[in-house]
């Protein structure tokens, strides 16, 4: 983790602790292998449940990101009005710090693509749910994420405005 990442998160792997820049306990990302094992034991639809878990995780992170960005930028604007670069850097640092890979946002019409490299392809339903909630929370517009391409260690999610 780089010095920039530690501005947002301080990890202590030996004790399993994660704190944000204020020193408050932070939401650690769920361990994917543990989740998949538990879902298989319950004979559940792992992809559907992972998406739902990702959505709950993303909703909580919208609130946390808003607070962390306010601390970093000195402005308490809603995420939709906050500067984009610090928000994208925060997403990148957060996913990287929790082992989900390096994310890059690529704007296009009519979609926003999220490229995630060096991540596990089995995390795609979890990350799709996470970004659905995160992008929806930031833009205040319902969004659906679909996996466009899935390669070993490279996930591409396309975010579409949800049909109402």
Residue 145, in any domain of the structure = yes
Residue 122, in any domain of the structure = yes
Residue 23, in any domain of the structure = no
Give the structural domain span for 75: 31-161
pLDDT in tens, 112-125: 888 888 876 777 88
- Number of folded domains that form the chain: 1
- 91 three-class SS: helix
Residue 20, in any domain of the structure = no
Residue 19, in any domain of the structure = no
* Whole-number pLDDT of residue 24: 67
Stronger pLDDT, 133 or 163, i.e. the higher one: 133
* Whole-number pLDDT of residue 4: 41
Cis-peptide into 95, omega within 30 deg: no
**CATH code, 47:** 3.30.1380.20
Under 8 Å between Cβ of 101 and 10: no
Under 8 Å between Cβ of 157 and 147: yes
Q: What are phi and psi of 161, to 5 degrees?
A: -65, 130
Burial of 62 (0-12, 13-18, 19+ CB in 10 A): middle
Residue 18, in any domain of the structure = no
pLDDT in tens, 35-74: 667 776 776 677 888 888 889 988 888 888 778 777 877 8
Residue 17, in any domain of the structure = no
Which of 69, 89, 88 shows the shortest CA–CA distance to 77? 69
Residue 7, in any domain of the structure = no
């Amino acid at each position: 983790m780089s010095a920039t990442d530690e501005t947002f998160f301080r990890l202590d792997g030996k004790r399993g602790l994660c704190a944000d820049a204020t020193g408050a306990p932070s939401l650690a990302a769920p361990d994917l292998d543990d989740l998949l094992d538990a879902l298989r034991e319950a004979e559940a639809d792992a992809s559907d449940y992972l998406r739902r878990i990702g959505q709950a995780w993303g909703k909580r992170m919208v609130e946390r990101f808003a607070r962390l960005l306010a601390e970093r930028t000195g402005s308490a604007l809603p995420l939709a009005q906050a500067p984009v670069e610090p928000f994208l850097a925060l997403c990148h640092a957060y996913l990287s710090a929790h082992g989900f890979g390096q994310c890059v946002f690529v704007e296009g019409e009519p979609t926003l693509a999220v490229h995630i490299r060096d991540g596990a392809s089995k995390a795609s339903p979890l990350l799709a749910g996470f970004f659905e909630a995160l992008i929806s929370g930031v833009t205040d517009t319902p969004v659906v994420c679909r996996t466009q391409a899935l390669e070993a260690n490279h996930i591409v999610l396309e975010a579409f405005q949800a049909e109402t």
